[in-house]
């Protein structure tokens, strides 16, 4: 009978790559009265922007700007803090494609108690008639956030155009936070082969 020396192999599990979690907003922090949603924005926009529900928050008119802030539930794992690893996705359109004005929409990241602290300003996106309604993504960086449980989004629509009769505003149908988790460190595994 032959005996084989016991060999020790150290195998390292592959790194667990970042995982995504989609979170709908869970509460209105502050709402504007210039849309049909008024104080009930969260209930209307908590759909998946990839398959929006069609219950639009519609601007009260073409010559109206609006702004609201929503909070999110706590993610189930630690956040990836790499540059632009986090994202908000929104499904939006202009109020009236017949207007010559092309409104802008912006999503800012807030945190802290009652969403009081600006964490990162978003980029203004122009709602062109040709490109919308559509989903668009606002990436942001979680490094320096006070707590994942305190993440909020402030969405601001700015009317644009010349005279009041040609200005245009925004409507919004769906919104979510596409959470990216931090990758777990590799776990060493010891396998004894005899």
CATH number for the domain including 47? 2.60.120
Instruction: Identify whether 189 is part of a domain.
Output: no
Within a domain: 8: no
Structural contact between residues 34 and 103, judged by C-beta atoms closer than 8 angstroms = no
* Nearest by Cα to 46 from 172, 176, 157: 176
Tell me how many domains the chain contains: 1
Domain interval for residue 80:
20-184
164 or 187, which is more confident: 164
- Residue 1 maps to a domain: no
**With 70 as the cut, is the pLDDT of residue 6 above it?**
no
Q: Mapping DSSP to helix (H, G, I), strand (E, B) and coil, where does residue 42 land?
A: helix
User: Could you tell me if residue 191 is inside a domain?
Assistant: no
- Establish if 148 belongs to a structural domain: yes
pLDDT higher than 70, residue 172: yes
Answer yes or no: is 162 within a domain.
Answer: yes
Domain assignment of residue 139, yes or no = yes
Domain annotation covers residue 121: yes
Nearest to 93 by CA among 175, 38, 173, 31: 173
Work out the average pLDDT over 9-25.
59
State the pLDDT at residue 33: 87
Mean predicted lDDT score pLDDT of the chain: 86
Is there a contact between 114 and 108 (Cβ–Cβ < 8 Å)?
no
Q: What is the pLDDT of residues 78-132, one digit of tens each?
A: 999 999 999 999 999 999 988 999 999 999 999 998 899 999 999 999 998 888 9
pTM recorded for the entire structure:
0.84
């Amino acid at each position: 009978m032959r005996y084989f020396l016991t060999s020790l192999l150290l195998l390292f599990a592959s790194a667990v790559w970042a995982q995504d979690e989609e979170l709908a907003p869970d509460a209105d922090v502050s709402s504007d009265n210039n849309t049909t949603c008024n104080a009930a924005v969260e209930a209307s926009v908590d759909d998946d922007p990839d398959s929006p529900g069609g219950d639009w928050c519609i601007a009260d008119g073409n010559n109206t700007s609006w702004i609201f802030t929503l909070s999110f539930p706590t993610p189930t794992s630690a956040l990836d803090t790499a540059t632009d690893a986090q994202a908000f996705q929104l499904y939006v359109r202009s109020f009236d494609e017949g207007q010559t004005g092309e409104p802008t929409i912006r999503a800012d990241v807030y945190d802290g108690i009652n969403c009081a602290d600006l964490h990162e300003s978003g980029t203004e996106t122009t709602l062109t008639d040709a490109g919308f309604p559509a989903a668009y993504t606002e990436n942001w960086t979680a490094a320096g956030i006070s707590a994942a449980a305190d993440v909020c989004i402030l969405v601001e629509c700015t009317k644009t155009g010349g005279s009041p009769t040609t200005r245009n505003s925004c409507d919004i149908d769906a919104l979510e936070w596409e959470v990216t988790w931090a990758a777990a460190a590799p776990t060493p595994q010891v396998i004894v082969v005899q």
